[in-house]
Structure 1
Amino acid sequence: MLADARNVMPDDLKFEGDKAFFTAALDRADLILHGRNSYEDQPNSPRRKRVILTRKIAALASDPCNPKAILWNPAGASFEAACEHAGVAAGTVAVIGGPGVFGMFMDRYDTFWLSLAPHVRVPGGEPCFPGVPLRSPQDILAAHGLRAGEPQMLDKAHEVSVTPWRRNA
């Protein structure tokens, strides 16, 4: 689960090692793509180019609240058009968000970094992918052609790890 039933990430799911890994990955990305309920709260957040998914516009628009962001309705424009509108022709796109956003890109990920906090339970929470909890996140990633790499420990005391799931070449 990514969040509780109110779509809020509980403090039980927040670990410094995971936060540092996440922040560093976003700092390396050329573009951040996320849904309307996702947000960042790091010092570099305002400097990052981003695409925000929304149904409140027809296709593409500048975000009136953030000069580094554009709004994108996938029903009205392609992902490639959204990237072009954001001024990004190549590079790394970091997709953050919930199951709807992650699900849209399942067949396009080069790498998906799956963090696990095995001792935390969020009953009735927001799953990471469509189909969870009927299937595990690992089964869903594998079904979309991704294979698990070597996990990295992010917080030894709480056994929090992150595993790269990469597409076969």
Structure 2
Amino acid sequence: MALRVEGFAIVSDDGMLADASGVMPRDLLVDADQRYLSDALDRAAILVHGRNSHEGQPHSRQRRRLIATRSVAAIAQVPDDPNALLWNPAGMPLEDAAVRLGVHEGSVAVLGGTDVYGLFLPRYDVFHLSRMPGLRLPGGRPVFPGVPEQTPEETLSVYGLRPGPQRLLDAATGVSVTVWRRCE
């Protein structure tokens, strides 16, 4: 089985993906970044996210997804969504959960939150880190465990990923993305 794990996040200057109440602020919803994400998700075989994270796009329910949760022992069907499974990473390996969705290969797009992003740090093949300059979210939800004591970039580096060139996505807001790749 060949699954490629890719993470996607947009964060504030202080490495937060949500404010102190756990809500992603409107300032982090930039059209150019949303298009970048949507294009990538269209190519993904599976999406993985926590119960409070989702991509919220018109065709979201058509995508196969694993919703990471501790509320099930291993895996369970989401009652109102045939393309989604509740998945406890402690109860079943990713590869087995993917098979339950009928996926044997392809890209696994990880969409957060903090614990889910952290779970995959040892496995990311690629991480797409977008930055919103000038925005700080004190007391917010960090992209990775250990942020803000360590920057998201330092965290990715510690786990063996290296940055590619920074790409400006939106000149008006200054939002850019850097694609980090595993070096082996």
The answer for the alignment partner of 2:55 in structure 1 is 40
Question: How far apart, CA to CA, are the structure 2 residues paired with 1:70 and 1:122?
Answer: 32
Q: Please give the TM-score of this superposition, normalised by the length of structure 1.
A: 0.97
Q: In the alignment, does 2:165 pair up with 1:150? A: yes
Question: How far apart, CA to CA, are the structure 1 residues paired with 2:145 and 2:179?
Answer: 19
CA RMSD of aligned residues (A): 0.9
The answer for the alignment partner of 2:142 in structure 1 is 127
Work out the number of aligned pairs and report it. Answer: 169
Q: Answer 1 or 2: which has greater strand percent.
A: 2
Question: How far apart, CA to CA, are the structure 2 residues paired with 1:48 and 1:109?
Answer: 20
Question: How far apart, CA to CA, are the structure 1 residues paired with 2:90 and 2:123?
Answer: 18
Q: In the alignment, does 2:26 pair up with 1:11? A: yes
Q: Is the 8 A contact 2:55 2:111 kept in 1?
A: no
Question: How far apart, CA to CA, are the structure 2 residues paired with 1:2 and 1:36?
Answer: 15
Detail structure 1 runs of 4+ shifted over 4 Å in the superposition.
none
> Mind listing any 5+ residue stretches in structure 1 that lack a counterpart?
none
Which residue identity is paired with 2:107? T
> Mind listing any 5+ residue stretches in structure 2 that lack a counterpart?
1-15
Which residue, 44, 65, 68 being the options, matches 1:29?
Answer: 44
Instruction: Report % sequence identity.
Output: 52
Q: In the alignment, does 2:152 pair up with 1:137? A: yes
55-64 or 130-139: bigger deviation: 55-64
141-150 or 11-20: bigger deviation: 11-20
Q: Please give the TM-score of this superposition, normalised by the length of structure 2.
A: 0.89
